[in-house]
Amino acid sequence: MPATVRIESGCIHCQACALVCPQVFALPDDSDHAVVRGEAREDGITSDNLGEGSPLLPLAGDVWESVREAAAGCPVEIIRISGGAPEAVQA
């Protein structure tokens, strides 16, 4: 099952996820809520991924670890990961 990352409501804009894993998370200038980058998703859409539920594209193993680290470090615990690690690619 491909890995999917969603960001639920309640983001406090602390930037921790984007600092830990900038390949997947971002805080757009025009939003007060973190998003999952389109570049990291199968559907290419940048959003909280709640509506789309798009799986991640294959990630290098260290990036996947940083996704998990970002989810664990979110102070309001709104980053949800479902599924296993995306197929690893050469770093």
Whichever of 31 and 89 has its CB closer to ligand SF4, that residue is: 31
Whichever of 67 and 78 has its CB closer to ligand SF4, that residue is: 78
Whichever of 46 and 91 has its CB closer to ligand SF4, that residue is: 46
Give the nearest distance from C-beta 4 to ligand SF4 in angstroms: 15
| Site for ligand SF4, rule CB under 6 A | 7, 11-17, 27, 34, 74-76, 78-79
Give the nearest distance from C-beta 67 to ligand SF4 in angstroms: 12
Q: What is the helix (H) or strand (E) element at residue 5, kind and residue range?
A: strand 4-7
Give the nearest distance from C-beta 19 to ligand SF4 in angstroms: 9
Dihedral class, residue 14 (left if φ above 0, else alpha if ψ from -120 to 50, else beta): alpha
Which DSSP letter does residue 82 get? E
Cα distance between residue 75 and residue 20, in whole Å: 13
- Number of residues written out for the chain: 91
